[in-house]
A and B are shown apart, each in its own frame.
Chain A
Amino acid sequence: MTYKKRLDGRKFDETREIEAKTGVIKKADGSAYFRIGKTAAYAAVYGPREHFPRSQQDPKKGVLRCNYNMMPFSGAGDRVRPGPNRRAKEISMVTKLALNPVVDLSDFPNAVVDVFIELPQTDAGSRCAGISAASMALADAGIKMKDMVSAVAAGIVDNTVVVDLDYPEEAYEDGDVADIPVAMIPSTEEITLLQMDGKISREDLKKALELVKEPLKRIAEIQRTAIKEKYQ
């Protein structure tokens, strides 16, 4: 048995519908909204600003600090307990690591740039939506960046390589499922985030990483257009 047609009728390399906006949070120095299908993420950037405690300062360059948070009502099932948990801490960390290669904070020694990612609604792929939103918000805040970072998941559903799994696909029960969130710097095709949940063969992994490149570049274009729209 193989997965011939996707549950929601998309093509195998087609992402869900994307909506992107910048400047959505007035008080923040930079902000963005990124929605992919039913997963929505807000990102707010504050700073560069003074960094305390002093022991965490870096005298050579500014520090990037990310915070990922799922709102209590954001899941499809039970209420998500508010506050940091193991999962949120891990995702905050990988978000920071995914964004760090592009941001250049060498002009701001001892300072910090805070990125807050809030998810009002999730349907799989929330860390990718968060990273995409955060990179737009950082650009909107006027921070020096080599490039954008775009993120989307790749994976297999029952031996078929697909892009951007939604929740019903992640929970597919009639075959193996692998979910691989990927973040990429579009201009150099460098991968800054690669995690995996599930089981996949070496060949399929290579195929998935190849298949996800084009959708990621399309996302980068959407991000760029959204940033420019603010100044039209």
Chain B
Amino acid sequence: MGKLLVKDKDVVVPGEVLAEGMDYLPSYGTYRKDDKIYAERVGLISVDGKVLKSIALSGRYLPKKNDTVIGKVFDILISGWRIDINSAYSSVLPLQEASFDYIQKGADLSKIFALGEWVVGKITRVTSQNLVDLSVKGPGLRKLHGGRIIKVSPTKVPRIIGKQGSMVSMIKDTTGCRITVGQNGVIWLEGEPKAEILAVQTIKKIEQEAHKKGLTDEIKVYLEKNSKDLKTEYSAPKKDDKKVDTKKAKDSKPKAKVLDVKENKQD
């Protein structure tokens, strides 16, 4: 009979023995040698019946098909653009995936996407050698104007989005910011300056405490506490808290909905 040497949600490091005996099975981030199972990377262990899996706590983004990512144009090719997606590999955005409009032969490509501009794209193809193709044709995919970009660890992205986008929509509703989260750990947000700062702080807090349990409730309390200052500051000159609140809510909701299409797919 095999013996399990770790508990669910334990942090494990490479070379640590997780289980002895042949009746446990190694999955991602673990491997078997002789009759023992070892951890292969730093991660949170997940014990699912007899299957042992190590969920990464750090590491760079590895491109995956159908992921929505945010990237920066850093080169213009003969018929397309090269886009940095905060990964070990850059991606190519071909001409036919750039726009629904017809692009004339010999057109100046920097008129469509100039160097240094940011885009929200979807990964359409990843080859065995990790050559990546990108598309900006689709719901929610576009060129980004204004706002600000922040980078977080790609392994914390699922936590920032939350179950069915619960975490990110909570931040959107409280701060009234427009937020787009890329699976590659690049986040774009736009809103009132103070609200933007609160949203950034909240995201950084989630990133730091991503391995904790019951984080959604903690963030809810954090947002409620800090958004009070936000509201009073904006309402101070108008001297009517309630009116401003409802107005803000009206403003923020439709904006957030434009982006929701995409968030549902990321999980």
Given contacts A143-B59, A231-B211, contact A148 B15 (CB under 8 A): yes
* CB-contacts of B1-59 with A (<8 A): 11, 13-17, 29, 31, 33, 38, 40-42, 56-59
Interface status of B130 (Cβ within 8 A of chain A) = yes
User: Does A209 sit within 8 A of B, measured CB to CB?
Assistant: no
The 8 Å CB contact of A147, one of B11, B15, B56, B58, is B15
Q: Which residues of A contact B31 (CB under 8 A)?
A: 146
Question: Which residues of B sit under 8 angstroms from A207, Cβ to Cβ?
Answer: none
List residues of chain B with CB within 8 A of the CB of A140. Answer: 42, 58
List 4 other contacts, CB 8 Å, given A110-B129, A139-B41: A47-B88, A139-B13, A147-B14, A187-B33
B40: A residues at CB distance < 8 A: 104, 144-146
Most chain A CB within 10 A, of B33, B40, B62, B128, is at B40
Instruction: Find out whether the CB atom of A143 lies under 8 angstroms from the CB atom of B89.
Output: no
Asked if A228 is at the interface of the complex by the 8 Å CB criterion, the answer is yes
Contacts of A59 in B (CB 8 A): 129
- A156 to B15, alpha carbons, bound, how many Å? 30
A-B contact pairs, 11 of them (CB 8 A): A30-B58, A104-B40, A107-B62, A111-B88, A139-B42, A142-B41, A142-B56, A143-B41, A146-B31, A147-B15, A187-B38
> B60 near A231 (CB under 8 angstroms)?
no
Q: Which residue of A47, A49, A143, A148 is within 8 Å of B13 (Cβ)?
A: A148
Chain A residues positioned under 8 Å from B88 (CB to CB): 47-50, 62, 108, 111
B: residues with CB less than 8 A from A are 11, 13-17, 29, 31, 33, 38, 40-42, 56-60, 62, 88-90, 128-130, 155, 211
Cβ of A141: which chain B residues have Cβ within 8 Å of it?
58-59
Candidate in B11, B60, B129 with the most chain A CB atoms within 10 angstroms: B60
| Interface of chain B: mostly helix, strand, loop or mixed | loop
A108 touches B129 (CB 8 A): no
In chain B, what residue has the closest Cβ to A224? B13
Is residue A29 within 8 Å, beta carbon to beta carbon, of the partner chain?
yes
Query: In whole Å, how far is A173's beta carbon from the nearest beta carbon of chain B?
Result: 40
- Among A25-84, those with CB < 8 Å from B are 29-30, 47-50, 59, 62
0/1 per residue, A200-232, Cβ < 8 Å to B? 000000000000000000001001100110010
Using known A-B contacts A47-B60, A50-B88, determine if residue A220 contacts B211 with beta carbons closer than 8 Å: no
* Those of A9-35 within 8 Å (CB) of chain B: 29-30
* Nearest-Cβ distance from residue A138 to partner chain B, whole angstroms: 9
Residue of A whose beta carbon sits closest to that of B58:
A142
Interface members, chain A 171-217 (any B CB < 8 Å): 185-187
Q: Give the residue of A49, A107, A146 whose beta carbon is less than 8 angstroms from that of B15.
A: A146
For the complex, give the distance between the alpha carbons of A146 and B89 in Å: 24
Contacts of B57 in A (CB 8 A): 142, 231
Whether, in the assembled complex, A102 has its beta carbon less than 8 Å from a beta carbon of chain B, the answer is yes
Question: A109 at the A/B interface (Cβ < 8 Å)?
Answer: yes
A29 and B58 in contact, given A50-B90, A146-B31, A227-B13 (Cβ under 8 angstroms) = yes
Decide yes or no: A148 and B14 within 8 Å by CB, A49-B88, A141-B59, A142-B155 being known contacts.
yes
CB distance from B38 to the nearest CB of A (A): 7
The one of A109, A146, A224, A228 in contact with B130, judged by C-beta atoms closer than 8 angstroms, is A109
B122 CB to nearest A CB, Å? 22
Closest A residue to B36 using CB positions: A187
Give chain B residues whose Cβ lies under 8 Å from the Cβ of A102: 14
User: When the two chains form the complex, which single residue of A104, A111, A185, A228 contacts B89, counting CB atoms closer than 8 Å?
Assistant: A111
Q: Determine the chain A residues whose CB is within 8 A of the CB of B17 once the complex forms.
A: 187
Bound-state Cα–Cα, A47 to B57, Å: 15
Docked-complex contact A142 and B13, CB < 8 angstroms: no
Q: Which residues of B contact A107 (CB under 8 A)?
A: 62
Contact B15 A220 (CB under 8 A): yes
CB atoms of A142 and B16 under 8 A apart = no
